[in-house]
Amino acid sequence: MTPDLTGKTVIVTGANSGIGLATARALAGYGARVVFAVRNTAKGGSAASTAPGLTEVRHLDLADLASIRRFAADWRGPIHLLVNNAGTSAPELERTADGFELHFGTNHLGPFALTNLLLPHVTGRVVSLSSQAERMGRINLDDLNWERTRYRQSGAYATSKLANVLFSSELQRRLNAAGSAVLAVAAHPGFVATNIYDRASGLGTRLMLRLFAQTPEEGALPVLHAATGNVPGDSFIGPEHWLHMRGGAEPIGRSRTAQDTELARRLWDASEKLTGVSFCL
């Protein structure tokens, strides 16, 4: 049954391409007013023009805390659904506008700050995109900014995805403790051919993309189930088939590290200090 989101407002970060665009189009088709929160508003406008229903484009750079604060300060009205979709991956060590390692800053700290700043407006759900790559992540609380740790793209990306799951779980615990009905859910889209692989140069990666990658529309299915399905808070939703990398949507497991409540709490505390943003309903 198609969900009816008529009259609801949805924010999708990174909605100008890939899974974000596929998710935004589907939610607009469900009747929602969809806000495309994007770095490039020209590209966002072109993308939004392909979606049915009511859409809006707003500037948001998750690699810049000042941009996140402006976005949140300008927001008015309720938010039924916030989809933290935008993410990045970089082969070389790069840093955000605030000096954070790019993966950790963009994929975790940016959504962390955005969610907490917008939380007083949220009435329904917060969906955070993660990945089964979280199983390879390692949170080093003594070097979150990769200043002493040897940089590896795969390790940095996996660590940011682990942080996404830990964030979603800790957010749900804090929402429960505050008596809020808002749900926090994580989603893994599977193996999807998106522009996050644009800088992939290896023959093996290119071959895997050609043979096994899903379309963004297929990758959006777990995200949409996390956003609108009958799922409890702190769920992790991923594809049904091929080791949870392709097709459909269902609850999936997570690593033992991703279930570490003490690590989640400590990461949350560190994230508050780094961003200057705290949990507040």
Residues taking part in catalysis: 157
Which amino acid is it at 173?
R
Contact 255, 231 (CB under 8 A): no
Q: What angle do CA 231, 236, 242 make, to 5 degrees?
A: 110
Phi, psi at 149, each rounded to 5°: -75, 135
Quote the CA–CA distance of 275 and 237 in Å, as a whole number.
28
Cα–Cα distance, 11 to 23 (Å, whole number): 10
Q: Report yes or no: 10 and 34 within 8 Å, Cβ to Cβ.
A: yes
Ramachandran area for residue 137 (φ above 0: left; ψ -120 to 50: alpha; else beta): beta
Q: Are 144 and 270 in contact (CB under 8 A)?
A: yes
Give the chain's length: 281
Query: Which position has the token pair 């000096």?
Result: 99
SS3 label, residue 246: strand
